[in-house]
Amino acid sequence: MAMASKRSAKSKGLRLSGSRAANSPTSSTTSSSKQFLETSVDGLSSPASSSARSKTPYSFSESVPSDAKENVTVTVRFRPLNPREIRQGEEIAWYADGETVVRNEYNPSLAYAYDRVFGPTTTTRQVYDVAAQHIISGSMEGINGTIFAYGVTSSGKTHTMHGDQRSPGIIPLAVKDAFSIIQETPNREFLLRVSYLEIYNEVVNDLLNPAGQNLRIREDAQGTFVEGIKEEVVLSPAHALSLIAAGEGIYASYFFF
């Protein structure tokens, strides 16, 4: 399990490497998956850039191999206007038309189709159940998967990926599910490792190791990896989340202190 936060491109993400389980299927590489993800991001930029008033707050994307083929699905979630936006007279420029279409409020003929669209009343749990839970299940079977949120500043990426105690985000929900699967599969051995990295201006930094700066991305027979990235074996959900919290602290020290 590798955590990734891509700040310069306004994205937050979670990459799940295939768990090393006894008799698990062979994990496919993520190199071609990464190319698909970059293509999907370009497609997602269209609605958000069409209007300065656009409230298509953020886009949530995922990648998981299915039947030995790379598969990418793109999900959009809307957030409601916050009190400051309401006071400033902001307006809704984009809205969810059904479960798969995003439509422009001022030009209804302008619309974009996605795999799934969630309205502003949708909970993070609902988004996770539909768009992310099967990625976690697949990763525990040895299949590589990636989940990331993409959007402009203040669009809700942190809320969805991290959440809070009242409404846990995608990351804590994923960690909880991973350990639940382990408990429910006593006849299998699992090894879960967490790494946490940042990509900023095309530079990869290790958020669990302050000395891990400007790391190189490499490929070998097993797939794509970050050379020298620190990986911590985790034994409980609390342990995994504590490492993520520690990584956030290192990021703060890089840029704010």
The enclosing H or E element of 37 equals: helix 31-49
Q: Where are the alpha helices (DSSP H) in 108-236?
A: 124-131, 133-139, 157-161, 170-183
- pLDDT tens, position by position, 92-113: 899 999 999 999 999 999 999 9
- pLDDT score at 110: 96
- pLDDT score at 222: 83
Under the banding of pLDDT at 50, 70 and 90, the label for residue 59 is very low
- pLDDT score at 15: 66
Under the banding of pLDDT at 50, 70 and 90, the label for residue 251 is low
- pLDDT tens, position by position, 7-52: 434 455 666 654 433 332 222 222 223 222 222 222 233 333 333 3
DSSP string across 41-70 = HHHHHHHHHS-TT----EEEEEE--BTTB-
Other beta carbons less than 10 A from residue 128's beta carbon: 24
Here the tokens at position 57 are 């707050």
Under the banding of pLDDT at 50, 70 and 90, the label for residue 201 is confident
Comparing 112 with 71, which gets the higher pLDDT?
A: 112
Phi, psi of 61 (to 5 degrees): -120, 155
Comparing 222 with 69, which gets the higher pLDDT?
A: 222
- pLDDT tens, position by position, 117-152: 999 999 999 999 999 999 999 999 988 899 989 888
Long-range contacts of 93-100, Cβ-Cβ distance < 8 Å, separation of 24 or more: 93/51, 93/53, 93/54, 93/55, 93/56, 94/47, 94/51, 94/54, 94/55, 94/56, 95/119
Q: Which of 2-11, 187-196, 199-208, 214-223 has the lowest mean pLDDT?
A: 2-11
- Angle (nearest 5°) at CA 232 between 64 and 196: 55
User: Measured between alpha carbons, how far is 202 from 35 in angstroms, rounded to an integer?
Assistant: 16
Comparing 38 with 209, which gets the higher pLDDT?
A: 209
Residue 96, strand partner residues: 102
pLDDT, mean over the chain: 77
Under the banding of pLDDT at 50, 70 and 90, the label for residue 195 is very high
Residues 6+ apart with CB under 8 A from 10: 150, 151, 152, 153, 155, 157
- pLDDT score at 102: 96
Position 1 pLDDT exceeds 80 = no
Closest CA relative to residue 190, chosen from 10, 16, 37, 5:
16
All structural domains of the chain: 2-255 (3.40.850.10)
Q: What percent of the chain has pLDDT over 90?
A: 54
Residue 34: strand, helix, or coil: helix
